Structure 1
Amino acid sequence: MPGAYVILDRLRQLAARDNRPVVPLSERRGGSSSLFTFVTHERERIAGASFSLLSIVAIVEGAKELVTMGRHLRFQAGTVLVLPAGWCGDVVNDPDPSSGAYRAIFIDFPDVLVRRASATFPPTRAAARLDIGLDATLAAAIHHAGEGIASGDLPAAVLNHRLMEVLMVLGMRGALPARPETTAEAVRALVRWRPDRAWTADIIAAELVTSNATLRRRLSAEGASLRDLVASERAVLANAMLTDDGLSLREAALATGYRSPRRFAERMRAAGPDREKRSD
């Protein structure tokens, strides 16, 4: 796709210098969108990265590694990562061996715009994949929005229109992640990003800014069990590790929070019907 590579060169101009956020991205709550650029000439690791808003990362040069959902994933230049609100994981930015540079463009999106785009292209479920290819249409939309944010002088209505361009392209490609609409979905989302964490009712309640009693009451009203939610979400991820990543039973067990392969195998069998349903 020659057009995409031309735009990739233009995106490289937006990422000419490192312009990282001062405030952690996990604390972003504003109603406006931000543009950040990450440039490094040395391999770097960022532990415990998390995003409070739906965000995209366009990898312009080099490669990015993510340790998330219990998996180690690597993405090359020309890839756009679509990270849902609440995503967390470890990040490694790896410079291109030829140029010696890693460059990426980060844009986050206010919830109000995400809801508007989702109304036009309703997500059917939380996106299983985080990455999509950078084609000419998506690259042009990112460049248009990035230039608008960087200028700092566009009227809000015009800038929002440019941001909506990006979201609508994502929606057309089925890459808009679904936001949790129920307490059960919110619990699943927490477990999905950190399946190896020792999740307890108290920890989950704290993450969802509620009490243990309220958490259990809401789940009961939805006909859901906290224990079953954690186990079934871990089983979904473990199944991907076993079938797609080629991990051993022991490796998949450890990556999803189990210390006993036997106990893990029992949980996998117990969650079998739900796993098949979630994989549809």
Structure 2
Amino acid sequence: MTRECASLAAEEHFFWSGLSGHSLSRHNLISVAWPRLKIEQKASSFFFFEPTLLLVLSGRIDVACAGKRHSLNSPSMLGFIDQGVDIDYIKYPSDPHTPFRSLFINISPDVLENFYQHFQEPLSAVKKNPQLSTVEINRNLDDSLHQLLAALENPQVSDDRIRLKIFDLLLVLAEQQLRFALPQRQGIFPRLSNLLREAPERNWTARLAGDALAMSESTLRRRLRQEGVRFEQLLLDIRMHHALMLIQTTHWNLTQVADACGYRSVSRFAERFKHRFGSSPAQLR
């Protein structure tokens, strides 16, 4: 760790003290969440539907991705995760009295495409395959992150200004040779996953999804099969991803969380959740 990054880590309590820690989002631009966990939690084949930045504020996360292992355990390190990356991970709280805390930033693929349309030089060095990388946070990256998060907390800041601050962050990352892979647009998978993620609480069927995508159920299933995807499994994964985030970022009761994920039965929801993540929703609270 460089001296500058060590200094930033020491100042972490000051850096985050001016931010509310509330989940924030701007539609089709960016979403920010601050997950907390009191116990160890693991997941396999956790898929990233959007370009993501991950910062661990306390505790540790160990990640296995494409045969490589990474560990994030300091607010001076940033995880840089492309859309389409699939990981296995374990999150560890610092100790029995200090929860795992992190900052989770999702950037809209539309914003990323818009960025590359405006700035051709970063585009020229974009990698072809989705990857996970880590980088030490220097002063420029620290400043850009802080300005973006502070702007998001101010409802008076327009979406256009938020977009420019995201562009600034992407440019700072490009200066450190970190560039997100181009968004995945080919095939039916991106369109369907976006549709389901917009409303995981809906009583989705393949027929309803096909209608929304202007195709028959049989055509939708055939195209998904060609891409190695099952409708029911994708819907389940999206709902469980959403549930995990709600469990870690809200004080909603389990009935509210289940309802927000399309389940009318709390027991059925809890069963699905435990099967996916190895712990019940109540245990993660």
Quote the offset at 1:204 in angstroms: 6.3
Secondary structure of 1:130 counterpart: strand
Range that drifts further, 2-11 or 146-155: 2-11
Q: Percent same amino acid at aligned positions?
A: 10
CA contact (8 A) 1:38 1:103 kept: yes
Residues 246-265 of structure 1 mapped to structure 2, 5 A cutoff:
none
* SS of corresponding position for 1:34: strand
Residue 9 (str. 1) matches residue 13 (str. 2): yes
CA distance in 1, matches of 2:170, 2:111: 8
Alignment map for 1:121-132 (pairs within 5 Å): 121-122=122-123, 123-125=125-127, 126=129, 130-132=133-135
Measure the CA separation in 2 of the matches of 1:14 and 1:46: 32
For 1:44, give the aligned amino acid: Q
Summarize the Cα distance change of 1:204–1:166 in structure 2 as closer, same or farther, 3 Å threshold.
farther
Equivalent-residue separation in structure 2 for 1:44 and 1:179 (angstroms) = 30
Hey, what does 2:87 align to over in structure 1? 89
Query: Is residue 2:51 matched to residue 1:54?
Result: yes
CA shift, 1:16, in A, is 6.7
- CA offsets 1:9-37 (integer angstroms, 9 cap, x no match): 244437775x679xxxxxx9951211101
Name 1:260's counterpart in structure 2: none
User: Counterpart in 2 of 1:75?
Assistant: 72
Q: Distance in 2 between matches of 1:70 and 1:15?
A: 36
Q: Root-mean-square deviation (CA), in Å? A: 3.6
* 2:60 corresponds to: 63
In structure 2, give the amino acid aligned to 1:76.
N
Task: State the TM-score, normalizing by the size of structure 2.
Answer: 0.54
Residues 20 and 87 of structure 1: is their aligned pair in 2 closer, same or farther, counting only changes over 3 Å?
Answer: farther
Q: Deviations over 1:22-71 (max 9, x none)?
A: xxxxxx99512111011223222244422221110112222111132134
CA–CA distance in structure 1, aligned partners of residues 42 and 182 of structure 2: 28
**Counterpart position of 1:113:** 111
Following TM superposition, by how much is the alpha carbon of 1:128 offset from its aligned partner in structure 2, in angstroms? Answer: 5.4
Instruction: Measure, in 2, the Cα distance between the counterparts of 1:164 and 1:182.
Output: 21
Summarize the Cα distance change of 1:83–1:129 in structure 2 as closer, same or farther, 3 Å threshold.
closer
For 1:143-158, what aligned pairs fall within 5 Å after superposition? Answer: 143-158=146-161
Q: Show the 5 A alignment for 1:226-245.
A: none
Shift of 1:167: 0.8
CA distance in 2, matches of 1:95, 1:169: 30
Question: Are the counterparts in 2 of residues 35 and 150 from structure 1 also a CA contact under 8 Å?
Answer: no
CA distance in 2, matches of 1:93, 1:132: 19
Shift of 1:112: 3.2
Question: Which of 136, 140, 145 is the equivalent residue of 2:143?
Answer: 140
Equivalenced residues, count: 187
Q: Which runs of 5+ in 2 are unaligned?
A: 190-222, 232-285
Cα deviation, 1:90-125, whole Å, max 9, x if unaligned, reads 332222249723221111112233234443412342
- 1:121 alignment partner AA: P
Q: Deviation per CA, 1:209-265, whole angstroms, max 9, x where unpaired?
A: 9xxxxxxxxxxxxxxxxxxxxxxxxxxxxxxxxxxxxxxxxxxxxxxxxxxxxxxxx
> Is the counterpart of residue 206 in structure 1 residue 204 in structure 2?
no
1:38 counterpart residue number: 35
Query: Could you list the runs of 4 or more consecutive aligned residues of structure 1 that deviate by over 6 angstroms after TM superposition?
Result: 180-183
Distance change in 2, residues 1:6/1:64 (3 Å): same
Gaps of 5+ in 1: 22-27, 187-200, 210-280
Change (3 A) 1:157 1:66: same
User: How far apart in 1 are the matches of 2:109 and 2:39?
Assistant: 34
Q: Distance in 1 between matches of 2:18 and 2:91?
A: 18
Distance change >3 Å, CA 15–CA 155, structure 1 → 2: closer
